[in-house]
Chains A and B, each alone.
Chain A
């Protein structure tokens, strides 16, 4: 389905939407002056016209390829981001890692996501994150676990924005690895 532009995204866009509504209102008033039912028909046409206009409007950034996340890590540090699907039993990180974040996406079905019934999925993800955090813990390395978005790629991107990383290890399918590679500038490998 074509994305619909939010007409109230900013004050300037809201004002533009208001101007369109004023024009539509003038058409409706003119039609209603002739006949009430003509006014109703004009109103229906105006609503359809406004929706069509909003669908024709380009959604900001929708056509552009997503910008790659480029982290900046201080010299002497080596941050590692581990993206692991719920249920992952173990992963290994390089010895040179100084800080590790394990993010486990809270994978939910469309129905669960739509109804907000994601608590169980988040608990599953939290358990995996906790288990992997314990497994990866070693002296001198900061390890923490997080529950991420319902999409592994988005979870990786979200964590990259907040945490940054010098490399990403992915405990998931090749397709996920490829998608993450397309969104970041750091090395991504499958474990």
Chain B
């Protein structure tokens, strides 16, 4: 008691504060995604400034955007969200095969997306230095590609853990959080694809 009173008197940094309004883990993920949206928002602001305010032709002639390749890539990424969902549904039903197969397929499709994007960069015919259009194109798709890379790293660890039997119907928080991130990356790609390639 006295020791506790002494402890209160000590000089120390403020105690971490949280309450039952929201669980710290949920709040952390929520703040993380909010910061991600702001990060992407900054890049989209640059995009709209270049394209709408500045009136830069999109794509700037003589360049062309590989819309079809990007569409196929979009289909691959969207499908990977379905396999991710399948993985989580499987672990909830205590089906380790579904979990492992789902995560492995998700990882492979994510990797295919990233490799295809790399190939697209090498063949697209312009570099980031070739004007505002090219810079914004690489910034937006590159920023998203970086997120896919992070998502793949998370998926890799999730897959390894799944093959080692770390998850079951009661304990699969790692798959849940990774799944939220992967779907978020997928949603962001749809927005990037629509704004950069379609509109």
Measured CA separation A17–B179 after assembly (Å)? 13
Residues of A within 8 A of B191 (CB): 21
Inter-chain contact A8/B199, CB cutoff 8 Å = no
- Which residues A125-160 have CB closer than 8 A to chain B? 126, 129-130, 133-134, 137, 141-145, 147-149, 154-155, 157-158
Given contacts A11-B175, A32-B198, A36-B199, contact A158 B5 (CB under 8 A): no
Inter-chain contact A39/B199, CB cutoff 8 Å = yes
Q: Is B120 on the interface with A (CB-CB < 8 A)?
A: no
Inter-chain contact B4/A18, CB cutoff 8 Å = no
For A139, the closest partner residue in chain B by CB is B1
Measured CA separation A157–B175 after assembly (Å)? 31
Given contacts A8-B33, A11-B175, A32-B198, contact A18 B5 (CB under 8 A): no
Residues of A within 8 A of B84 (CB): 11, 15
Inter-chain contact B184/A14, CB cutoff 8 Å = yes
Measured CA separation A147–B17 after assembly (Å)? 9
Measured CA separation A2–B9 after assembly (Å)? 43
Inter-chain contact B179/A119, CB cutoff 8 Å = no
Residues of B within 8 A of A155 (CB): 19
Q: How far does the Cβ of B136 sit from chain A's closest Cβ, in whole Å?
A: 17
Which residue of the partner chain, among A8, A142, A143, contacts B29 with CB atoms under 8 Å? A8
Q: Is A10 on the interface with B (CB-CB < 8 A)?
A: yes
Which residue of the partner chain, among B5, B33, B85, B179, contacts A130 with CB atoms under 8 Å? B5
Inter-chain contact A149/B187, CB cutoff 8 Å = no
Residues of B within 8 A of A18 (CB): 78, 81, 183, 186-187
Measured CA separation A130–B5 after assembly (Å)? 6
The total number of A-B Cβ pairs within 8 Å is: 100
Inter-chain contact B5/A137, CB cutoff 8 Å = yes
Which residue of the partner chain, among A6, A15, A157, contacts B20 with CB atoms under 8 Å? A157
Inter-chain contact A142/B20, CB cutoff 8 Å = no
Inter-chain contact A143/B183, CB cutoff 8 Å = no
Inter-chain contact B198/A39, CB cutoff 8 Å = yes
Q: How far does the Cβ of A80 sit from chain B's closest Cβ, in whole Å?
A: 14
Inter-chain contact B199/A158, CB cutoff 8 Å = no
- Which residues A3-60 have CB closer than 8 A to chain B? 6, 8-12, 14-15, 17-18, 21-22, 25, 28-29, 32, 36, 39-40, 43
- For the complex with contacts A106-B17, A149-B21, 18 further pairs of A-B residues with Cβ separation under 8 Å are A6-B30, A8-B29, A11-B176, A11-B179, A11-B183, A12-B88, A14-B183, A14-B184, A15-B81, A17-B187, A25-B193, A29-B194, A32-B199, A122-B14, A130-B8, A145-B5, A154-B19, A154-B21
A-B residue pairs in contact (CB < 8 Å), sample of 17 = A8-B29, A8-B183, A11-B175, A11-B180, A15-B183, A28-B194, A29-B194, A32-B194, A32-B198, A39-B199, A119-B14, A133-B5, A143-B1, A144-B1, A147-B15, A149-B17, A158-B20
Chain A positions within 8 Å of B, measured between CB atoms, are 6, 8-12, 14-15, 17-18, 21-22, 25, 28-29, 32, 36, 39-40, 43, 106, 118-119, 122, 126, 129-130, 133-134, 137, 141-145, 147-149, 154-155, 157-158, 161
